[in-house]
Amino acid sequence: MIDMDKAQHIVDQHSHLEGGLLECLHALQHAFGYVPRETVDIAAEGFNISRAEVHGVISYYHDFRTKPAGKCVVKICQAEACQAMGSRALTKHAEEKLGMSMGETNEDYSLEPLYCFGNCALSPNVEIDGKLHARVGQDDFDRLVNGGERS
């Protein structure tokens, strides 16, 4: 169950900010791990816009989730500088290792594409549970997703 008092409190904290809906949605996602359907109504009321508009914003941006993520969130950069250093092969390896396709979520993992961490002199880049790792080879990847450190 979603703690609606907590959600209401978050909306109240942001609804006075001019144009603050994105900040509010980030805060809701930070608190619940995703933006629960139930919170759309109170966000709409708080910002005095329609539920459709709130839904429109949530669905527009890549960052916002409408379902919980896997226990471990793996993001692999798919942009050009990482491609030049083998991110396509690394992505294929990750899909095989985790038994899932890019963009999928299961209970254990979310495997997500990302377009640039801004660390392009040290490609390829992978973020695991919010921590960025540079120059990730396939062996490094295996160690990192198993909770270990890179060599």
Partner 1 sequence: MINVYVPRDTASISMGADDVAEEIAALSDDINVIRNGTWGMTYLEPLVEVETDTGRIAYGPVRASDVENLHEAGFLQGADHPLCHGPTTEIDYLKNQERLTFERCGLIDPLSIDDYKKNSGFVGLERALKLSQREIIDDVTTSGLRGRGGAAFPTGIKWNTVYEAEGDQKYICCNADEGDSGTFSDRILMESDPFCLIEGMTIAGIAVGATKGYIYLRSEYPLCKVVLNEAIRIAKAENYLGSDILGSGNVFDLEVRIGAGSYVCGEETAMLESLEGKRGMVRAKPPLPAHVGLFGKPTVINNVLSLASIPIILAKGGEYYKDFGIGRSRGTIAFQLTGNIKRGGLVEKAFGISLGDMINDYGQGTHSGKSIKAVQVGGPLGAYIPPEQFDMPLDYEAFSEAHAVLGHGGIVVFDETADMRAQAKFAFEFCAVESCGKCTPCRIGSTRGAEQIDAGNWKLTKELCDLMDSSSLCAMGGMTPIPVKSAMEHWPDEFKA
Where along the sequence are the contacts to partner 1 (CB under 8 A)?
A: 18-23, 25-26, 47, 53, 56-57, 60-64, 77, 79-85, 88, 114-123, 125, 130, 132-135
In contact, 101 and 109? CB cutoff 8 Å? no
Q: Which is nearer to partner 1, 47 or 141 (by Cβ)? A: 47
User: Least distance to partner 1 from the beta carbon of 1, Å?
Assistant: 26
End-to-end CA distance of the chain: 41
User: Least distance to partner 1 from the beta carbon of 6, Å?
Assistant: 21
CA 149 – CA 151 distance, rounded (Å): 6
Q: Which is nearer to partner 1, 25 or 94 (by Cβ)? A: 25
Q: Which is nearer to partner 1, 1 or 7 (by Cβ)? A: 7
Residue whose C-alpha is closest to residue 93's, from 111, 108, 81: 111
Mapped onto helix, strand or coil, the DSSP state of residue 17 is coil
- List the helix and strand counts (H, then E) for the chain: 7, 4
User: Least distance to partner 1 from the beta carbon of 3, Å?
Assistant: 23
User: Least distance to partner 1 from the beta carbon of 81, Å?
Assistant: 4
Q: Which is nearer to partner 1, 31 or 114 (by Cβ)? A: 114
The partner residues of 111 in beta bridges, in order of sequence, read 74
